[in-house]
Amino acid sequence: MKNENFQPQVCAGAASTNVTGAKDCAEMGLRMKDHGIKGWGMKRCKAACRRAKREGTGCCRELHHKAECCKIAAAASLFFAALGLLLLSSADASLSYFTTYVSASGGRNVALGESTYLEEDVKPEGGTLRKEVQVLNTGETDCYIRVKVFAGSQVNQTEKQPAISVTGGGWGLNGEDGFWYYGEAVPAGGSTQVLTVEITPPTEEDREFLGIESFDVIVIQECTRVRYDENGNAYADWDAAAATEEGEGA
């Protein structure tokens, strides 16, 4: 007698297979419930088959099929689960791509201020005074430097002024403004070449005539940081220059 709960679609392949030695339950005069089965779990099917063999009552085809179907169904479930897992993992792989990234940063200050230092060394040489002038760039920016040398205002008669002769490598006189320009930008930490100023003091007679006992030779230094035009060419903006002056008595 066929059990109504038997589900051949679950194990259709197995059901069509000829099971040697197994007989229909009806042929064996057994009913499924004779095996004491209440459910269709694999364990119970197997247990029932084992018990039927032990008791010599035999295990009918339906029950045998059911037990085998349960095993196949379990294996099939495992197979499909594994297949699903594999598909999932491959799907995951296809959605994750090789990527990487890298970054770096850095910062610096902006140098704006100028700082220069003027050194003078005065040496009497015979009847003249020799003044050596050198300007040091003590700031962080490259600078252009210019210097003006002239006698003090108390010597207001041109022909009686001390004679001043200025020379120096790298320096050039601009006749319009009277400044000596250093030809190159002085890099931060660098210095100009020496500008030599030779001063011939007025004679005693001239001093008496002028009514002075001493006079000043004044040196003005100006610096301006290097500017750059649109093409990257350096230039000096003397309107923005920082200046100071110093006098030297004689």
Interacting residues with another protein (CB under 8 A):
13-14, 17-21, 68, 71-72, 75-76, 78-79, 81-83, 85-86, 88-90, 93-122, 138-142, 221, 223, 225-228, 232, 242-244, 246-248
Beta bridge partners of 163: 200
Comparison of 56 and 112: residue with beta carbon closer to another protein: 112
Give the HSE-up count for residue 180: Cα atoms under 13 Å, Cβ half-sphere.
Answer: 23
Comparison of 34 and 198: residue with beta carbon closer to another protein: 198
Least distance to another protein from the beta carbon of 107, Å? 4
Least distance to another protein from the beta carbon of 145, Å? 11
The residue to which tokens 């320009």 are assigned? 181
CA–centroid distance for 52 within its chain: 80
Least distance to another protein from the beta carbon of 160, Å? 25
The residue type found at 125 is E
Residue 110 near residue 91 (C-beta atoms within 8 A)? no
Least distance to another protein from the beta carbon of 53, Å? 15
Q: Which positions ≥6 away from 9 have C-beta within 8 Å? A: none
Least distance to another protein from the beta carbon of 167, Å? 19
The residue to which tokens 């210097």 are assigned? 147
Give the HSE-up count for residue 69: Cα atoms under 13 Å, Cβ half-sphere.
Answer: 22
